[in-house]
Structure 1
Amino acid sequence: MLDLGGALEVFTTCPQSKEFPAADYLRRALEVSAWSDEAGCAGMLIYTDNGIADPWLVAQAVLEGTRRLCPLVAVQPVYMHPYAAAKMVASLGFLHGRRICLNMLAGGFRNDLLALGDETPHDDRYARTIEYTLIMRQLLEADRPVTFEGRYYRVRGLRVTPALPAELFPGLLISGSSAAGRAAAAAIGATAIEYPRPPAEAAAGEEAFPAGLRRGVRIGIIARADPEEAWRAAWERFPADRRGRLAHGLAMRTSDSVWHRQLSDLAREAAAQENPYWLWPFENYSTFCPYLVGDYGTVAAEVARYLGLGASAFILDIPREPGDLEAAGIVFRAALEKAATPRAPPDG
């Protein structure tokens, strides 16, 4: 369904441990990873923050429970030295003969960072992540000891053992919603992932995106043959949540995240249900990305517009059932067809 022959990469997202009792979480994470593997997803994002299970341990379980799925591990530089992260990648490759991907973080929840004693400003965090990732790259690519002198990290004559085979070198992703994020993506050779604006507005800001930079978007999809059925499913999945809206407001007051503020500004703009771009789940703190909702053709047309802007990777929100991935497969195949079809010239 979502193995699209290399035309683009579609990742799904792993459930978070805070949403389940301890006795149920691993079963649910493996269930979702099995759906994603069966659907042909390229990989599955595994979050990290101070309040959930360690993503490296979850990734280990995912590798054991799937055949092809690539764990996309969120890497928080504040949590571990770049050598430790490179050692994790090399060790997982050695133990499983499988490739993983890395979602390089520059920030996180503001209170999480403060609890860890990290008060580094927004753009400086991206500079730190650049150094962190370059050290990791050199450790995983080099066949000799690595020496690196930077503002945040210094290593001398360092080597990772066991060595990582070249074909298992991890795919790299990083948030690209800010200028600092896009510059970091270019510096480390990563895909810049955006929490996108509606396609028309994203096209208007196209000049801010560097040419040649690989880009992707983070969205949720709820699509059905009947648009009314799609919206009914969307409202059932994301009902009003007063506590969530209060949490969203608190997060907005403390966050310096560019993408968080961009989406919050968009959410304040009234939108009719006919508009497939839907931020209600974000406003209620139910998830952290916009959704596209509607019939297959309408949602596919929106996805095709992101493809037209150069998006080659998509990270989908956490699926609730296998049917979510089936619907996404229908949408992406239709979107690829639409993107490949030349537009008729205007009349006159």
Structure 2
Amino acid sequence: MFNPLKFHWALPIEAAKKNEAQADRSGGIDLEALVEFVSCADKLQIESLLTPFGFHMPDPIALLGRLSAHTERVGFMLAYRAGLMSPTLFVQQVNTLSHLFNGRISLNIICGYSPVEQGYYGDFLSHDERFERAGEYLDICSALWNATNPVSYAGKHYQLQDAQLNTKFTSLRSEVRQPKIYLSGNSKIANHTASQHAQCWLRYGDTPEKIVASHSSIAQTEYKPRIPIGLRMSVIVRQTREESIEAAFRVVENPDLKWKEFIKTVVDKSDSVAVKSTYELAEKANSEWLGPNLWSGAVPYRGGPALALVGNYDEVANEIMRYKFAGVSEFILSGWPTLAEMQGFCDNVLPRVRAMEQLESSIEVQEYAV
């Protein structure tokens, strides 16, 4: 069966800076730049745009409602932390958004990376407890989306009595009754929670060989196949390999060492397996490279999503196909500068990926016929 890869892109929330080795600026909104970005993405072969979540950036729900008015096709992947809002109210807000832009919304459910930041929001559960709570949260959300009667729930973290919503989820496809759910995390409990409650397990990047191992560890039964894997990473693609490497090094030139030390402090205080494991990958990398095309040089400044595929058009397309063979079905990408990188990727890499997928599909059909 032909299953083309899906490509999403991270919405660039942070204010412009000289390069990615510099400290983040204020959490303000450059609305003009964001409108330009989403309008461009709407014309490209991008599945959806990730609206990230964190104390250092604007609220993604309000921002998504504003930006969606400037699009007609591209979807939005709303990142939100389970537990910071009543699940009933959250479903109500998601359903409202679905009416505003015809169901072009999916959810990236996250469980937090830092006990310190969780404390900002009055949340003091441990890492595993947060994932346990997320399971209950998604149980309730799913029940509300698919309910024909009022929903009651009695769990460890949530209790509901006869919950009901008149504003239902809407989509251009009448059979779709709820948004697609991506659950993030690299830990075993994230893996398990995603397998039970989501349609895609979203994790930070690694080598294709390590991804194969993680995919093999996912529980699978005759009745429940392995959940698809999505990777959150970056790309730096140019016409030649030399140009791509030069562009990668420019991303972190003249670094702010105080910012680098601040990020290390954040990682040290984090209880996220995803955050710590990707940072450790970067520390152990041979001259910042985990492979011929996998570069970790920006990770110490930008964290896990900055692990990047670097190379010319053919090299990056080939690496993406290696990930597909390793069990990856979706990518959430970013780049530097992100608008130009998204355009370059869609114009030069994506057609190569699609051509290889068509060839793969043709071979499968021929083998099936034999």
TM-score by length of 1: 0.89
Distance (Å, rounded) in 2 between the aligned partners of 1:250 and 1:23: 24
* Alignment map for 1:275-294 (pairs within 5 Å): 275-285=292-302, 288-294=305-311
Summarize deviations over 1:210-259 as a string: whole Å, max 9, x none.
34211110111111121111111122233233123112210121001101
Gaps of 5+ in 2: 16-23, 221-225, 365-370
Are 2:9 and 1:12 aligned?
yes
3-state SS of paired residue (2:329): strand
* Residue of structure 1 in register with 2:246 after alignment: 232
- Unaligned regions of 5+ residues in structure 1, if any? 344-348
Question: In the alignment, which residue of structure 2 is the partner of 1:297?
Answer: 314
Q: How does 1:44-55 map to 2 (within 5 A)?
A: 44-55=49-60
Counterpart contact for 2:205–2:304, Cα < 8 Å: no
Structure 1 residues 289-344: Cα deviation after superposition (integer angstroms, max 9, x where no partner) = 3101011222222211110022111101256354312332332443454465479x
Q: Is 1:258 the equivalent of 2:276? A: no
Contact 2:236 2:309 in 1 (8 A): yes
Aligned Cα RMSD in Å? Answer: 2.4
Matched to 2:283, the amino acid is: R
Q: Which moved more, 1:182-191 or 1:284-293?
A: 284-293
Q: Which residue of 1 aligns with 2:233?
A: 219
CA–CA distance in structure 1, aligned partners of residues 51 and 164 of structure 2: 27
Write the deviation string for residues 89-144 of structure 1: whole angstroms up to 9, x where unpaired.
11112233232111101113332112233221111111101111111111122122
Residue type of the partner of 1:8? L
**Aligned-partner Cα distance in 1 for 2:302–2:349:** 26
Equivalent of residue 92 in structure 1, options 97, 101, 119: 97
Confirm whether residue 331 of structure 1 aligns to residue 336 of structure 2. Answer: no
Instruction: Find the aligned partners of 2:50 and 2:182 in 1 and give their Cα distance.
Output: 10
CA-to-partner distance for each residue in 1:22-46, whole Å, 9 max, x for gaps?
Answer: 7751222222211221112111111
Which residue of 2 is the match for residue 73 of structure 1?
78
Distance in 2 (CA, whole Å) between partners of 1:197 and 1:96 is 34
Q: Decide whether aligned partners of structure 1 residues 122 and 23 sit closer, same or farther in structure 2, where only a CA change above 3 A counts.
A: closer
Code of the residue aligned with 1:262 in structure 2: it is: S
Q: Deviations over 1:262-291 (max 9, x none)?
A: 111111123256721111111123773310
1:21: how far off?
6.3
Would the alpha carbon gap of residues 23 and 56 (structure 1) be closer, same or farther in structure 2, given more than 3 Å must change?
Answer: closer
Q: Aligned to 1:146, which of 132, 146, 151?
A: 151
Correspondence 1:306 to 2:315: no
**Does 1:159 find its partner at 2:168?**
no
CA distance in structure 1 between the partners assigned to 2:247 and 2:36 by the alignment: 21
Which of 217, 221, 236 in structure 2 is aligned with 1:208?
Answer: 217
- Decide which of 326, 333, 337 is 1:316's aligned counterpart: 333
2:202 is equivalent to residue 193 of structure 1:
yes
Q: Secondary structure at the residue paired with 1:44?
A: strand
Paired amino acid for 2:203 = E
Partner deviation per Cα, 1:32-78 (whole Å, 9 max, x = no partner): 21122111211111111122111001110121111112111111123
- Distance in 1 (CA, whole Å) between partners of 2:25 and 2:214 is 39
Distance 1:98 1:116 in 2: 29
* Counterpart for residue 367 of structure 2: none
SS in 1 for 2:193: helix
1:62 and 1:335 map into 2 onto residues whose CA distance is 29
% identity of equivalent residues = 22
**Does the residue aligned with 1:167 lie in a helix, a strand or coil?**
coil
Note closer, same or farther for the CA distance 1:151–1:292 as it changes in structure 2 (3 Å cut).
same
Contact kept, 8 Å, 1:222 with 1:327, in 2: the verdict is no
2:223 aligned partner? none
CA 1:31–1:22: 2 relative to 1, 3 Å: farther
CA distance in 2, matches of 1:96, 1:213: 28
User: What TM-score, normalized to structure 2?
Assistant: 0.84
